[in-house]
Structure 1
Amino acid sequence: MEKRRVVVTGVGAVTPLGNDAETSWKHAVDGVSGVGPMTRLDADAFPMKVAAEINDFDASLFMDKKEARRMDRFTQFAVASAKMALADAELEITSELAPRVGVWIGSGIGGMETYESQFRTFLEKGQRRVSPFFVPMMIPDMAAGQVSIYTGAKGPNSCSVTACASGTNSIGDAFKVIQRGDADAMITGGSEAPITNMAVAGFCSAKAVTTTDDPKTASRPFDANRSGFVMGEGAGLLILESLESAQARGATIYAEIVGYGSTGDAHHITAPAPEGEGGARCMAEALRDAGLAPEDVSYINAHGTSTEYNDAFETTAVKTVFGEHAYKLAVSSTKSMTGHLLGAAGAIEAVFSVKALEAGILPPTINYETPDPQCDLDYVPNEAREADLQVVMSNSLGFGGHNATLVFKKWQSA
Structure 2
Amino acid sequence: MHVLVLGAGVVGVTSAWFLKQQGYDVTVVDRQNQAGTETSYANGGQISVSHAEPWANPSAPLKLLKWLVRSDAPLLFRPRLDPAQWRWAMAFLKQCTASRAAYNLRQIVNLGIYSRAHLQALRQDIGIEYDHLERGILHFYTNPEEFESALRPARMMRELGCDRQVIDANRAVELEPALAPVKGRIAGATYTSEDESGDARQFTRSLAKKAEEAGVEFLYNSEILGFENTQDRVLGVNVIREGRHQILRADNYVLCLGSYSATLARKLGLTLNVYPAKGYSITVPVKSESAAFNVSLTDDEYKLVYSRLGDRIRVAGTAELSGYNRALNLTRCRAIVRRTAELMPDAGLWERAEFWAGLRPATPSNVPYIGKSHFGNLYLNTGHGTLGWTHSCGSAAALADIVAGRTPDVDFAFTGL
Q: Is the TM value for this pair above 0.5?
A: no
TM bucket, shorter chain: under 0.3
Higher strand share: 2
TM-score by length of 2: 0.25
- For normalisation by structure 1, the TM-score amounts to 0.26
More relative contact order, 1 or 2 (CA 8 Å, 6+ apart): 2
